[in-house]
Structure 1
Amino acid sequence: MSERPTPTTADWARRYIETFGLALVPIEPGEKGPKGAGWNKPGGYFTNASKAEAFWSTSPNHNLGVVLGPSRVCSLDVDDVELTRQVLQQTLGLDVDALAEAYPTSVGNPERFRVMFRVPEGVELSRHALVWPNKNDPDDFMRRCKGKVMVSINDHPDIRRAFDSDGFHFEYLDIRYTNTNQRQGKADVTGELVIMNWQPAGLGQLF
């Protein structure tokens, strides 16, 4: 029994267009995405199966990409699985793992994946990116923590700016740091900043 020949990129290009109606764009060898102006405009991509097959037959080392808009395809690109689970569940009630099991999903890096959907007729979507906060930043930990967090740190304008936009409660204190003999002189008074992710008013203040 003869083995079935391995499909070439040109074969896949024809199938993707004929079967799924995808708009395909060439990607040069060694590149992660298309380069140059106009690749996502009419004339910059292929929607004709014969022309696409002819191109990849003569340029077999080129990869291919899907132009989402004219293909009527939506791509959910999950770069941070943990935070995507949290945000989609809390804001939309969606289970991202269930989506990945139910719909076509591409996985390159095992730490991330991409779920593909066909966009319904009459619906227009645009690209929207969510920039996740740095999980190692203390202000992000304080924001996400469900319990009460208090941080005591040297008062400095940069520290205030780092935390000021997050709605935390600040207390400003005077403090002396010293390990010298107090009878021989006192250390200078410095500022101490106490930052809380909760309001201490209900406890009759703290300081």
Structure 2
Amino acid sequence: MPMLRCRSGLLSLLLLAASGPQVVEGDSVLEILGSLKSFRDAGVDSFKILASELKKHGQDEDAQKARKWSDDWLSVLGLNKGLTGLAKDFVMNYLGRGTYHDKNGALIDSIKRVAHSFPEAGEDFDEDSLDDVHYYLRKVCKEGKILFAEGGSLNQMLTELVDILETKGVSSVLSEAMKGSDVVKQAFGYFAGSPPRISKTAEL
């Protein structure tokens, strides 16, 4: 099943983390990287908007952190960083291994919940939907950090991402960074079912 194009800087990396059920044992770094490249330009644009909004709010250091994350993890080339580094880490250490596929349920579920937190097609984000998306994106990072080993590219990327998501003021500018949210929701919905309502306080 072909992956849907999206406009979220987060999505390409989340899809990589969740791609276990969608790829076969023989997939190579180059094959997975080919799928991720289609998201790169949109991802760079999203983080550019996020950095710009943070700068407008006088958060120059946080804006620089967002730009650096984009430069590090959305670059095409890189030994241990960029899309190549992320794909290599996934293929070499997780793809086809029971230690990943038997334990990735919480991560997959968190990604599904992001999709269900988006507003309906054609509607804008309101305070509740922004809070939900922000919460479940952080939940994805938390579950991914548990699943992916420290010292690896995926763990490092998620560690740096959750640091950005927990920056003061980020939740209020997410709506600008997630332009094209209808398309983003469709892509997250690739993995989505109908998750039950649960207590956020108990999860984090």
> Highest Rg: 1 or 2?
1
Q: Larger % of strand: which?
A: 1
Larger relative helix fraction:
2
Higher RCO (CA 8 Å, separation ≥ 6 residues):
2
Please say whether Structure 1 and Structure 2 have the same fold, judged by a TM-score greater than 0.5: no
TM-score by length of 2: 0.21
Instruction: Give the TM-score of the pair, scaled to structure 1.
Output: 0.21
